[in-house]
Amino acid sequence: ESGGSGLGLSIVRSVALAHGGTVGVSCEDGVTSFWFEIRAAR
């Protein structure tokens, strides 16, 4: 357990969506993973 405020994923989602990206979550064998995708500038 951590003492965080719980804002991290909300901030990541806002930034990713502002850049046309996506955010997701997956759970396999009891391990939960969060990910985000945005296009890199060239």
Residue 31 lies in a domain: yes
Domain count, the chain: 1
Question: Is 42 within the bounds of a domain?
Answer: no
3-state secondary structure labels for all residues of the chain: CCCCCCCHHHHHHHHHHHCCCEEEEEEECCEEEEEEECCCCC
How far apart (Å, rounded) are the C-alpha atoms in residues 19 and 7?
19
25, part of any domain? yes
Whether 24 is covered by a domain: the verdict is: yes
1 in any annotated domain? no
The answer to whether residue 2 sits within a structural domain is no
Region at 5 (left for phi over 0; alpha for psi -120 to 50; beta for the rest): alpha
Q: Which of 39, 38, 10, 2 is nearest to 22 (CA)?
A: 38
Task: Determine the pLDDT at residue 6.
Answer: 78
The reply to whether the predicted model has a pTM over 0.75 is: no
What is the pLDDT at residue 2?
66
Q: What amino acid occupies position 21?
A: G
The average pLDDT across 4-22 equals 90
Arithmetic mean of pLDDT, 3-30 = 90
- Domain enclosing residue 23, as ranges: 7-37
